[in-house]
């Protein structure tokens, strides 16, 4: 039976500077989802890359006295290397300046829109934000400035090609309302639907070559350059071979199962992109996952304020798994979240050093000390996971349940439900709930004392603990792949086909998984 496919993308990062923490977080979200789907038998294609055209790119390169191509080459490689250093499992890295991989698809899409009668030439007079690479209106501004960049837009008047966005407004709206295009979370769905009440106008789709020399020439009219968003959005299909001779990847993976994007580019992905696809007669993406911004000390990051979080510094100082853990446990996939050094260290110590790291170290040490690292499952010895209930007289233990029942009936269903909904912080809450329950299991039975009285029962307790840790490593693997593999190698577990543990041949840790900071 063929594998079910799953196609996930990030937005492509604008290659005018080094990666910031928002880029890295978005890459992390997509990587976690891609790894989770692979773990569950899906054939996953995970696309990321860099957006390399536009006015801002050419102006920045000029200010640095570099050729535009060498400038984007340098920055694209910086992104690629940093994503690699974070263990991103992307399948392909697309660059919009790539004339072989990207340009054919972008041009083919333009020609489809033109063939549908949806491209026309007209005069444009209005405002353009170079920072956003987007046309804006007065109502988009705050005190006359772009709310994202704090700079007044430029007033332009020129002849451009336009796309008939208004023609597809009703169709796109209906598909969002029906969840044919499922926008997550619901607040972002409501946000994009509110735009339709204001009326949808056609959009300028090109700029004169003299105004923006760095980009893809309009097919049949090299005096015009494709509008950067028309060019950039096409990456989701160009990377799969759309417009090229070999389109087998496109035939296999399109449509996208989920686009992972930031909230500031929602309207391009939920309005413009679906309209372009409808015009071209192509299938629509199934889901758009919209994450918030990462703030620092409650404020938007700014070099002038001095509150910018450099992800590279955190990886160099604390390791990639520590940064991935903070993203997983403390940054919401749906809302704005704050990143401070104090929060990072608090999370590191609580979740890694005192959490998973301490649990694994304790259990491996007891297994090595009491059983020379080898323990075997004994079906005749059952040590229940105790439950605590509140009574009139206080808190009492209940008879409890087998640990494997608790894991299979409560922990794993909750974990998978959260992962399927992209509720990543809630999924890791479930993992750490099990970590705490295993810590409680040790506290309840005190195997370090019990071993002197009942060695068989002590062995059963350690088998249960090692089994619980093995389940934790499986759930943890999309989030902390390196840590998960390291723990698995220390457990030496053998299991039946249904997952029941047979035995463990463990190794003790030579150094802590996560030293306290």
Q: Identify the three-state secondary structure at position 234.
A: coil
**Would you say residue 149 has pLDDT above 80?**
no
352 and 513 Cβ atoms separated by less than 8 Å:
yes
Pairwise CA distance, residues 301 & 22, whole Å: 10
- Residue the block writes with tokens 């323990």: 375
End-to-end Cα spacing for the chain = 49
Q: Can you tell me the mean pLDDT for 442-451? A: 96
Q: Could you tell me the two tokens for 351?
A: 């979740």
Are 492 and 335 contacting, i.e. CB atoms less than 8 angstroms apart? Answer: no
Residue 481 pLDDT grade (very low, low, confident, very high; cuts 50, 70, 90): very high
Return d(Cα 436, Cα 431) in angstroms, integer. 9
Helix 358-371 × helix 481-491 angle, to 10°:
10
Confidence (pTM) = 0.93
- What fold is seen in the domain 5-292? Rossmann fold (3.40.50)
Query: How many other C-beta atoms are found inside a 10 Å radius of the C-beta of residue 223?
Result: 11
pLDDT given for residue 387 in this prediction = 81
What's the pLDDT band for 445 if we cut at 50, 70, 90?
Answer: very high
pLDDT more than 90, % of the chain: 79
Q: Where are the domains of the chain?
A: 5-292, 351-505
Q: Are strands 501-505 and 493-495 parallel, antiparallel or unpaired?
A: antiparallel
The overall average pLDDT reported for the chain is: 93
Mean pLDDT, rounded, for 111-131: 88
The residue behind tokens 């950039």 is 232
Using a 10 angstrom Cβ sphere, with 0-12 exposed, 13-18 middle and 19 or more buried, the burial of residue 486 is middle
C-alpha–C-alpha distance, residues 355 and 337, integer Å: 22
- With 70 as the cut, is the pLDDT of residue 345 above it? yes
Instruction: Just give the CATH number of 351-505.
Output: 1.10.730.10
Q: Which residues are catalytic?
A: 20, 23, 129, 132, 146, 149, 300, 303
Choose among 317, 330, 290, 359: nearest CA to 479. 330
């Amino acid at each position: 039976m063929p594998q079910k496919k799953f196609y996930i993308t990030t937005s492509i990062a604008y290659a005018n500077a080094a990666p910031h923490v928002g880029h890295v977080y978005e890459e992390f979200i997509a990587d976690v989802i891609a790894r989770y789907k692979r773990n569950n038998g899906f054939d996953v294609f995970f696309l990321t890359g860099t957006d390399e055209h536009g006015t801002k790119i050419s102006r920045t390169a000029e200010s640095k006295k570099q050729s535009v191509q060498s400038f984007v080459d340098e920055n694209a490689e910086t992104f690629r290397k940093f994503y690699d250093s974070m263990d991103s499992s992307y399948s392909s890295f697309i660059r919009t300046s790539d004339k072989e991989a990207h340009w054919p698809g972008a041009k083919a899409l333009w020609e489809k829109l033109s063939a549908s009668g949806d491209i026309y030439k007209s005069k444009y007079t209005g405002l353009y934000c170079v920072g956003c690479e987007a046309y804006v209106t007065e109502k988009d501004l705050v005190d006359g400035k772009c709310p994202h960049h704090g700079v007044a837009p430029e007033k332009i008047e020129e002849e451009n090609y336009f796309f008939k966005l208004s023609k597809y407004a009703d169709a796109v709206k209906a598909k969002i309302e029906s969840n044919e295009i499922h926008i997550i979370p619901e607040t972002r769905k409501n946000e994009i639907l509110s735009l339709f009440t204001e009326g949808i106008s056609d959009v300028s789709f090109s700029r004169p070559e003299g105004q923006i020399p760095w980009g893809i020439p309009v097919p049949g009219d090299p005096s015009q350059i494709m509008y950067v968003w028309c060019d950039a959005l096409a990456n989701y299909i160009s990377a799969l071979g759309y417009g090229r001779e070999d389109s087998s990847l496109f035939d296999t993976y399109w449509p996208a199962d989920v686009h992972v994007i930031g909230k500031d580019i929602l309207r391009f992905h939920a309005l413009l992109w679906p309209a372009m696809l409808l015009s071209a007669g192509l299938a629509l993406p199934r889901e758009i996952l919209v994450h918030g911004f990462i703030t620092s000390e409650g404020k938007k990051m700014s070099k002038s304020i001095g509150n910018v979080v450099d992800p590279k510094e955190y990886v160099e100082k604390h390791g990639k798994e520590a940064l991935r853990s903070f993203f997983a446990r403390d940054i919401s996939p749906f809302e704005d979240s704050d990143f401070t050094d104090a929060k990072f260290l608090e999370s590191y110590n609580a979740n890694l050093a005192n959490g998973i790291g301490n649990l694994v170290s304790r259990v491996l040490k007891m297994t090595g000390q009491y059983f020379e690292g080898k323990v075997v499952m004994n079906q005749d010895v059952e040590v229940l996971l105790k439950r605590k209930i509140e009574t009139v007289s206080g808190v009492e233990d209940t008879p409890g349940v087998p640990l494997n029942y608790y894991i299979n009936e409560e922990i794993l269903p909750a974990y998978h439900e959260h992962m399927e909904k992209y509720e990543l912080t809630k999924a890791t809450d479930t993992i750490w709930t099990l970590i705490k329950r295993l810590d409680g299991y040790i506290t309840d039975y005190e195997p370090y004392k019990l071993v002197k009285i009942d060695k068989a029962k002590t062995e059963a307790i350690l088998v249960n603990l090692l089994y619980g840790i093995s389940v934790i490593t499986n759930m943890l693997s999309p989030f902390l792949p390196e840590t998960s593999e390291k723990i698995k190698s220390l457990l030496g577990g053998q299991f039946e086909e249904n997952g029941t543990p047979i035995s463990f041949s463990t190794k003790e840790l030579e150094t802590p998984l996560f030293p306290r900071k």
